[in-house]
Structure 1
Amino acid sequence: MNPINSIDTRDIILDVTEKLIYRSGIAATGMDLLVKTAGVSRKSIYRYFANKDALIVAALQRRDQRWMHWFTTQVDQAPTAGERLLNVFDVLKTWFASEGFRGCAFINTSGETGDPRDPVRQVAKAHKDKLLDYLHTLCLDHAVQDPQALARQLLILIDGAITVALVTGDQSAADRAQDMARKLLQLECLTP
Structure 2
Amino acid sequence: MASRSDSSSEILSGLKDDILWLMILIYSFKVRARLEGLGQWSREHMSIEFMLLDSAVRDIVMRLTALDDDSKNNRSFQTLLSALNRENLLEQKRSKALKEKVKKYRDAANKLKVEHRNQYISHVNTDASVLPRVIDRPVRFQEVASLAVNLMDDFAGKTLRYHFKMGSNESINLRDALQAE
Q: TM-score per shorter chain, which class?
A: 0.3 to 0.5
TM-score when scaled to structure 2? 0.34
TM-score when scaled to structure 1? 0.32
Q: Name which structure has the greater RCO, CA cutoff 8 Å, separation 6+.
A: 2
